[in-house]
Structures are given as C-alpha cells and as structure tokens.
C-alpha cells in the first residue's frame, strides 16, 4: 500500500511531466495554448502533492486558489503573492474550449516561470 510520500511522489511525477511539456512547447514555435494548459495542470498537481504528503483529502477541483488556501492552512509560510493563480486556473478551461485563446510565447513563458516558483515553494517543504 502506498504511503503519503509515495502518493506525493506520484503527483510530483505527473506535475514534472506537465511542466516539461510546457517548457518544450515554450521553447518551440507553439502552439502556446497547450503550454498554458500544461502549466495549470502542473501547478494543480504540485499543490495536490503537498496535500497528499500531509495526508489531507484531495479535492476534485482545478481551482488553484482553493488548493493554495488548503496548502496555506497547513503551512502558513507558503506565500502566493507573486503568482497569478486565478490566471493559471483559467488556462485549464481556456486552452480547451475558448476558440479565441491563442496566447503569444511570452504569455506561456510567464506561466512556466510562475509554475517554477510554485514548484520550488512546494518541493522545498517536502522531504521526499
């Protein structure tokens, strides 16, 4: 049976996959909407990894602000002020359903940078 560290590692592995795909797409000629989508997915999975590590329920939501609130309730030192979690959350839907959502490379690159900051904050707090 998987313990909390195994569950957290599983979420992180999936998050790393999404982030790697977003980085590759940003470094290419696009399409950048998919990079934004994978950034949202990576951020969601890093936050869920933190919850799993702390043996908290994992809500079935894509709302990064809600997930961040749950994580901050566990660790008050987690600060999200330098991240636009609302915008990252929007990428979960916009990339799939908004036929006018075609971001430029700089928008996707910013999303990658935001997820990298979130990743760093989460991973430095987990002892895996």
- Asked whether 59 and 70 are in contact (CB, 8 A), the reply is yes
**Average per-residue pLDDT for the chain:** 96
Rounded to 5 degrees, what are φ and ψ at 100? -110, 5
The alpha helices in the chain, defined as continuous H runs, are 4-26, 32-53, 64-74, 85-97, 105-123
Per-residue pLDDT band for 2 (boundaries 50, 70, 90) equals: confident
Q: Give the rounded percent of residues in the chain with a pLDDT score beyond 90.
A: 91
Predicted TM-score (pTM) of this structure: 0.96
Fold held by 4-123: 1.20.120
Domain boundaries, the chain: 4-123
pLDDT in tens, 39-52: 999 999 999 999 99
List the structure tokens of 123: 């991973």
Q: How many CB atoms lie within 10 A of CB 52?
A: 23
**62-99 confidence digits (pLDDT tens):** 999 999 999 999 999 998 888 999 999 999 999 889 99
């Amino acid at each position: 049976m998987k313990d909390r560290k195994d569950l957290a590692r599983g979420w992180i592995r999936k998050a790393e996959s999404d982030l790697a795909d977003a980085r590759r797409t940003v470094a290419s000629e696009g399409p950048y909407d998919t990079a934004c989508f994978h950034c949202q997915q990576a951020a969601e999975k890093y936050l869920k990894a933190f919850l799993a590590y702390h043996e908290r329920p994992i809500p079935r939501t894509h709302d990064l602000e809600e997930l961040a609130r749950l994580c901050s309730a566990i660790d008050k030192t987690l600060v999200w002020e330098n991240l636009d979690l609302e915008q990252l959350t929007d990428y979960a839907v916009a990339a799939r359903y908004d036929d006018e959502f075609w971001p430029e490379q700089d928008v996707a690159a910013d999303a990658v940078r935001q997820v990298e900051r979130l990743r760093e904050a989460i991973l430095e707090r987990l002892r895996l």
